[in-house]
Amino acid sequence: MTPRLAFACLLWLAALLPLVGWVLHRRDPVGVVRVAVAFEQMLAGAVGWGAVGALLLVLCWPPFLPWLRLAWRAMRSRMQVDRRPLREAFERLRHFENAHDHHVAGRVLRRLGDRRTALPHLARAVELDPAAPGPRAELGEALLDAGRAADAAAVLAPLVAREPDHAYGETLLLLVQALLRHGDAAAGLAQLEVHHARFGPVRRAAWLRAEAHGRLGDRAARVQALREAAEAPAKGTRMPPADAYVRARARVALWFTRGAP
Amino acid sequence: MTPLLERLGHAPVTGCVLIAILTLAALTDFVAPTPQQLLGHGAAMGFLVQDGEPWRLLTYAFLHGGLIHLAFNTIFLLQLGPQIEAVLGSPRFALVYLCSAAGGGLVAVLWQDPHTLLVGASGAIFGILGAALAWNVRSGRSPLDFWNYEGPRQLVGLIVVNLALGFLFPMVSNAGHIGGLIAGFVTTHTFLLPPRDGARRVDRWIRAGWLALAASLTFYACEPFLRWDHLLTKARDASTPAEQMRWLAAIQELPAGARPPVAWPGAGIAPPAKDRRGR
């Protein structure tokens, strides 16, 4: 049964209930009231206990609280975005098209969460100034957000080849993500080696390595990488939300790979 | 004033609705209309709908309970109406407006106490918001694609904030808001906009199901066989003492919160039909 068919059946059932109830109540009003009251109590109980159970389950799920921190931080940063540069960039773009203003517009729109509108501005910025690293990295990230992993890899690869240290290796990790989503796990793994050689052990890189090994079918290496990603932080240090989220996901992934070599 | 008139010039349905609302406000009282005035002009009330006046499920949306109520709804309608009317087209917008008003009235009448007075265009205005949401849901690549744009996200925020405000103020009928929102969304999403992935046979059943549900709930609003006032009416009109006891027993089976707010049992019920018929 497809979800649409199930929904149609549910609608018809809901539509028929009052009519059936009305027919029955003419014969036995007390019985209908009893059934309706029992049904209402059962439904209220199921919904209430279901909601409590779901809430407990969600709260006990390790990635939930770090995700909440991440979401909260994203929302705060979105609300603190200064829109003036966007207005100014649009105003200047009306008279003179240039890469810088397209980049500013794309960056501010992305920070506001308007990802799809940001994409053409960033693409135009790269087109006008292909050598600038900022718009290129931003465009790669925007393409990755839009689910266009192959395009993102094509945009990010020249930047990484020219400036692997761009944004302290963040671009390198973005390229790895793009390659993994595109299905090129071996190339992703090669880029992770470069990242490891330059920046040492990084939790997010370990998580991506686990993903790459998983795609390549190397279970032992995957578990090893997951253990690295799930390592507890040093005492007294507070992880940034992104790292806490990765660690929680790695812990959950390790639960499901118990018994792996 | 000119931009306002210009805006209304492109939105004839919004203009007509505003004229109707203001005319009725003038006929009742702009500042503080009495319940009698409002009921006389079509305000909704559960037991009146049950008494054979279902048209009140629609007419309540053109009446308002005072100057502040009127001002809020008029401003909202002026802001949202012309924009959505431009997107949907005037005939469709009129349909959405009327369906949302009826949906809001229906849910409010079913949810609230049968003696609560219901007036205001807010159910229909929430329906306009629901229509805008449906349009955004339908126009993206996937149902949740609209979340990638700032405008539609602000629309969702506006709906959530207004619903939250509705829960804070006891005189606001949030059931009417929710009913209007659902009616506006369903009317636009299911009946007015073409499906994203081509027409399917099951879609016809879904459309028919929504119509059946609306008809069935309207029928229940007119014959609320699980509500104490309906059961009491049946008991009052019973022809034999045994039948009268049957209806009264049904009232006693209702949960405490759903029983009549008067001295019980059977206060004010006339003797059974035996005496009335003179047998």
Give the pLDDT confidence score for residue A206 in this predicted structure: 95
- Tell me the chain A residues in contact with residue B226 when contact means C-beta distances shorter than 8 Å: 21, 25, 32-33, 36
The reported pLDDT for the residue numbered A51 is: 97
Which residue out of B142, B154, B204, B225 would a mutagenesis test of the A interface target, given it has the greatest number of A Cβ atoms within 10 Å? Answer: B225
Task: Reply yes or no on whether the pLDDT at A64 is more than 90.
Answer: yes
Query: Which of B149, B205, B250 lies closest to A33 in CB terms?
Result: B250
What pLDDT score was predicted for residue B31?
86
For B214, residues 6+ apart whose C-beta sits below 8 A from its C-beta are B102, B103, B106
pLDDT of residue B2: 60
More confident residue, B181 or A163: B181
Segment 25-64 of chain A within 8 Å of chain B by CB:
25, 29-30, 32-34, 36-37
Q: Could you tell me how many CB contacts below 8 A there are between chain A and chain B?
A: 84
Q: What is the pLDDT of residue B276?
A: 46
Residue-wise pLDDT for B215-229, tens only, equals 999 999 998 888 888
Model pLDDT, residue B279: 41
Contact B255 A37 (CB under 8 A): yes
**pLDDT over 90, % of chain A:** 62
Express each pLDDT in B119-139 by its tens digit: 999 999 999 999 999 999 988
Residues of B labelled as active-site residues? 122, 177
CB contact under 8 Å between A11 and B250, yes or no, is: no
The CATH class of B2-222 is mainly alpha
- Shortest Cα distance, chain A CAs vs residue B67, angstroms: 34
Helix axes A29-60 and A3-27, enclosed angle (nearest 10): 150
Q: Residue B146's pLDDT band (boundaries 50, 70, 90)?
A: confident
Chain B nearest-CA distance from A223, in A, is 34
The overall average pLDDT reported for chain A is 90
% of residues, chain B, pLDDT over 90 = 50
Residue boundaries of the structural domains of chain B: 2-222, 227-268
Decide: pTM greater than 0.90.
Answer: no
Distance (Å) from the alpha carbon of B150 to chain A's nearest alpha carbon: 5
Percent residues over pLDDT 70 in chain B: 91
What pLDDT score does B139 carry? Answer: 83
> Residue B200 pLDDT more than 50?
yes
Check whether B142 has a pLDDT greater than 70: yes
Residue A176 has pLDDT above 70, yes or no: yes
Residues of chain B whose C-beta is under 8 A from some C-beta in A?
145, 148-150, 153, 200, 202-203, 205-206, 209-210, 212-213, 215-217, 219-220, 223, 225-226, 231, 234, 246-247, 249-250, 253-255
Contact A261, A223 (CB under 8 A): yes
Model ipTM value: 0.83
- pLDDT tens-place string over residues B239-270: 888 888 888 888 888 887 777 766 555 555 55
Residue B195 has a pLDDT of 79
